[in-house]
Structure 1
């Protein structure tokens, strides 16, 4: 395996916390502690374009493909719906005084994970609250959707992962998953497995088709794992850590294939917060506390 650094995108004035896809394969969005929401072009490096500015840090953005709108979670305030083409806010909702950690879409539902332990369900079209899910007093940190089993997985700072029914919103299962906060949850592309990771630096693989039995428990990093994501073809898995590294894994065997760090690949100098594996030439994007975004070619 060869990992090559293609570009570094600079322009954010503080830590970059979140990334999401854009309307075109070569486009993506970023945001972070500076409240700037930026659109980038992978085919025109460092042509960053400011599409919105909010007066607080942003941990979560999500591009809603059907409407073409970017949902921006402004911490301690609420949600802003931005039309990136016009660079205009088209709707907003004063949702919470808590931090917003994750946003996910399913049919006409939008799920929002909050630092007060609530998962808010909104009607996506009307931008109104449908329901509040409250199963913990600790932060709801990460969301993952399984449309096959019609389940929603939520990782919490109380060390647990909770599984909800996507149709009825009922709590189906509580998994005592980790020994510390769960920062990231993701179903495998075939939805057979749920992968979880967090502050305890363990990567865990759960059998979603068989009562969520634990299949793998891997000491994957030296410090907290902030995010994990799969390659577009589902063959590879990437994890990002507070230990400043990105690791590439075989998604079938969960064998470590490559460590991407500062010493060997001119990687990030501080915590790697978020990953986005794009459909544009399968380029991997990473965002960091060092205020930069790196673009990687994995072959």
Structure 2
């Protein structure tokens, strides 16, 4: 496997916390501690377009490709919808006074994870709250949706994963998953496995068909794993960590294939917070506390 650093996008004034894909494979969005929401193009390096200045940190973005709107979770002030083309706010809803850690869109719903432990389900068409799911006292940190099993996995700061029914919102399962807070959950593209990771620096694999029985447990990093994501073809996945590294894994064997760090590839100098794997030349995008966004070309 060969890794080539394609470019570095600079422009944020503080830690970059979140990324999401845009309308085309070359487009993506970023936001972070500076409250700046920026649109980037992979084929036009470092020519970012400022979409909004949010007066608080932003941990969560989600692009609604159907409506061409960007959902922005403004901490302590709720949800804002931005039109990326016109660079204006379309709607807003102060659904919470808590921090917003994650937003996932599916069908006509938006699932939103909050720091008070609540998961809010909103109607995307009418932009109203459909349901409050209060299943934990500690923060809901991350959400993953399995369209195959019609389930939603939520990772909490009480070290548990909770599985909800996507259609009825019923709580189906609760299990102790990690030794500390869970920062990221992700279903495999075929829906067979749920992957989870967090502060304990392990990633774990759970068998969906076998009632989420443990499948694999890997001590993957030195410090907390902030995020993991799959490659567009589903053959690989990547993890990123507070230990400043990105690691690339085989999706079938869960075997480590490559370490991307400062010493080997001029990687990030501080915590790597978020990953986004684009179908544009299979480029992997990483965001860090060092205020930079790096773009990597991964060739097997």
Shorter-chain TM-score: which interval? over 0.9
Give the C-alpha shift of residue 50 in structure 1: 0.2
**Alignment partners' CA distance in 2, 1:24 and 1:88:** 20
Give the C-alpha shift of residue 95 in structure 1: 1.1
Q: Determine helix, strand or coil for the equivalent of 2:263.
A: helix
Q: CA RMSD in A?
A: 0.5
| 1:84-99 pair list within 5 angstroms | 84-99=84-99
| 1:211-222 pair list within 5 angstroms | 211-222=211-222
Give the C-alpha shift of residue 285 in structure 1: 0.1
Alignment length, in residue pairs?
299
**Alignment partners' CA distance in 2, 1:109 and 1:63:** 13
Other-structure match for 1:6 = 6
Other-structure match for 1:190 = 190
**Alignment partners' CA distance in 2, 1:24 and 1:215:** 35
Give the C-alpha shift of residue 297 in structure 1: 0.2
Q: Deviations over 1:142-184 (max 9, x none)?
A: 0000111110000000000000000110000001100000000
Other-structure match for 1:47 = 47
Other-structure match for 2:59 = 59
Q: Deviations over 1:36-90 (max 9, x none)?
A: 0000010010011101111000000000110000000000100100000000100
Other-structure match for 1:77 = 77
TM-score by length of 1: 0.99
**Alignment partners' CA distance in 1, 2:222 and 2:162:** 26
| 1:145-224 pair list within 5 angstroms | 145-224=145-224
Other-structure match for 1:286 = 286
**Alignment partners' CA distance in 2, 1:256 and 1:149:** 28
**Alignment partners' CA distance in 1, 2:53 and 2:32:** 11
User: Gaps spanning 5+ residues in structure 1: where?
Assistant: none
TM-score by length of 2: 0.99
Other-structure match for 1:130 = 130
Other-structure match for 2:296 = 296
**Alignment partners' CA distance in 1, 2:186 and 2:24:** 23
Q: Deviations over 1:13-50 (max 9, x none)?
A: 00000000011110100000000000001001001110
Q: Determine helix, strand or coil for the equivalent of 2:258.
A: strand
**Alignment partners' CA distance in 1, 2:230 and 2:192:** 14
Give the C-alpha shift of residue 106 in structure 1: 1.6
Other-structure match for 2:107 = 107
User: Gaps spanning 5+ residues in structure 2: where?
Assistant: none
Alignment of 1:235 onto 2:248: no
Alignment of 1:271 onto 2:268: no
**Alignment partners' CA distance in 2, 1:45 and 1:148:** 36
**Alignment partners' CA distance in 1, 2:173 and 2:28:** 34
**Alignment partners' CA distance in 1, 2:290 and 2:200:** 22
